[in-house]
Amino acid sequence: MKMTFYGQFVAGEDQEAIKPLIRRNRAFGVGAVLDYSVEEDLSAEEAERQELESCTSAAEKEIGGAEQREKQYRAHPGFGDRRGGVISARTYFYADEAKCDQHMETFLRCIDASSGSSEDGFSAIKLTALGRPQFLLQFSEVLVKWRRFFHQMAAEQGQAGRAALEMRLEAEKLREALANLGIATKAETQRWFTGENLGISGTVDLLDWNSLIDSRTKLSKLLLVPNMQTGQLEPLLSRFTEEEDLQMKRMLQRMDVLAKRATEAGVRLMVDAEQSYFQPAISRLTLEMQRRFNRDRAIIFNTYQCYLKEAYDNVTVDVELSHREGWHFGTKLVRGAYMDQERERAAQIGYEDPINPTYEKTNEMYHRCLDYILEEIKHSRKANVMVASHNEDTVKFTLRRMMELGIHPSEKKVYFGQLLGMCDQITFPLGQAGFPVYKYVPYGPVQEVLPYLSRRAQENRGFMERANRERDLLWREVKRRLLAGTFFSSSH
C-alpha cells in the first residue's frame, strides 16, 4: 500500500516519517502545508445521526423551534453525512467535547511538526473539528440576517445592486430605522455613533455597521436578530442551556490555544473553508483571530471559496477591514470542494443555490478576488495570498499580474499551493524559479487515512483522464521564462 496510492498522496505515518519528503521538496524550493488527514470511518447512518444530534439545540428539541429558523441554517435528514460528493476535503463529525480536545491536540502536534520540519511552514485546521456545529449554524444565521438587514436598508435608500463596500447608509435614516425597530432611541444611537466614531461623514458603510452591531448587541452571546416582519429585535433561540454556552466558549478557547501555539512556533495557521451554512461563522471567527494575531505579520489565514456568489463581497469587506485596522490580511483562495453537495441541498430543501451558475463564472470570480488582493499588496504590502489552484490559466494569470504590479516573488506575499501527488509540473518549476510554492501534505497511519485515500482514488481517475493537455506549449513557454529568470525582466 505504501508503495502505491498511499505513497503518491500521503507523505508518511507521523511527523518523523514525513521529514525525508519535506526535505526533498525543500531542496527544490517547495514548502509544506501539513494536514493530518485521519478521519473516523463512520457509516453513512452513524454520520447522519451524529450530525443531526449535534446541529440541533436543546430548545429546538423540546419545542420544535427549528421550524422558526431559516432552512439553510438547520440540520436536515438526508444531508447529515457531509462527506457526500466531497473528494478532497476531510470531514469531522461531533461526538463530544473530549473528542474536540483530541482534535485540538492533533492540530497542536501538526503545528509542532510543521515548525520542526520546515521553515515558513503552514498547518491546516478545520473549525468543525473544534466544537459543536450547532454554534456555527446559529452564528452563521445571525451574521447573515444582520447583513441582509443592512442590504435591505440600503435598497430602501436606492442602493440595491451595488457591491457591498459601495453601499453607504445615510446615518440619520439609519438611526430612525434602529429606533423604529426598538433597538435603541435616537439619543442612544447618537451616543453609539459618537463613541465608535461612526457616521462622521454622514454615512455608514457595512464595516461601520458590523462594528456597531458587535459593540452594542453582543451578538456572540445573545444571538439577537432583526425580525423583518414584526420590526423587532428577537433572540434566535428562546434560550441556551448552560452546557451549550460552555460548548460555545470551549470552541473559542481551542481556537485561541492553536493560534497562540502557531504564533510561538512561527507557523502560519490555515483555517479551511467548509459548507456554506457553516462558513459565515467560520470566516468571522477566523477574522477575529486575525485581528488579534496578525498585528505584525500574517499568522492566521482565512479561506475564501470562489464558487460562492458572495465571494467578492466577502473578500473586499475583509481586506478593507484589515486596511482600516492596520493588521496583516492572510488568505487562501480556492474554487471550492462542496459544489455538488451544496447544489443538491439547496434544490431539495428549497433555498437559493449559493454557488455560481457555471465554472466560467467561478473562474471569473477567482480572478476578480485575486486581482483585488494583488492590488492591495501593491498598495499596502500588508496582504498575503495563497493561490491554491491546479488551474494553469490561474497560475499564469497570477504570474502576469505580479509582473505588472511589481510584486517580486522574493517579497513572499504571493504563495502558490497544490496537493501532494498532483500537478508537480506546476509546483516544481515555480519552486526552482524562486516563487513561494507549497504542497498540501496529508499524513497519518495507513488504516486511518483510508477514508481520505478512497475519495482521492475516485478523483484521480477523472483527473488522469483530463491530464492530456497539462503540458501544452504555452505552459512550457512560461516555465522556460521562469527557469531562465526572464519572467520579471523588462523585456517581457
pLDDT in tens, 323-334: 888 999 999 999
φ and ψ at residue 402, rounded to 5 degrees = -60, -45
pLDDT in tens, 246-296: 777 888 899 999 999 999 999 999 999 998 988 998 998 899 899 999 999
| DSSP 8-state assignment for residue 382 | -
Quickly count: other Cβ atoms within 10 Å of residue 194's Cβ: 11
Tell me the helix, strand and coil percentages in the chain, rounded to 5: 55, 10, 30
Question: pLDDT digits over 110-142, tens only?
Answer: 999 888 776 788 999 999 999 888 888 888 887
> Cα(429)–Cα(302) distance, rounded to whole angstroms?
27
163 by Cβ neighbours in 10 Å (0-12 / 13-18 / 19+) ranks as exposed
Instruction: Out of 25-39, 146-160, 461-475, pick the least confident.
Output: 461-475
Q: Which residue has the higher pLDDT, 227 or 366?
A: 366
Residue in 151, 140, 152, 148 with CA at minimum distance from that of residue 69: 140
Torsion of CA 163, 169, 170, 173, to 10 degrees: 140
pLDDT of residue 237: 55
Q: How far apart are CA 96 and CA 100, in angstroms?
A: 7
φ, ψ (nearest 5 deg) of residue 387? -85, 90
Q: Which residues are bridge partners to 36 per DSSP?
A: 443
pLDDT confidence bin for 197, thresholds 50/70/90:
low
Q: What is the pLDDT of residue 406?
A: 94
DSSP state at residue 355 = B
Give the C-alpha distances (Å, rounded to integers) separating 371 from 198, 279, 356, 366. Answer: 29, 22, 18, 9
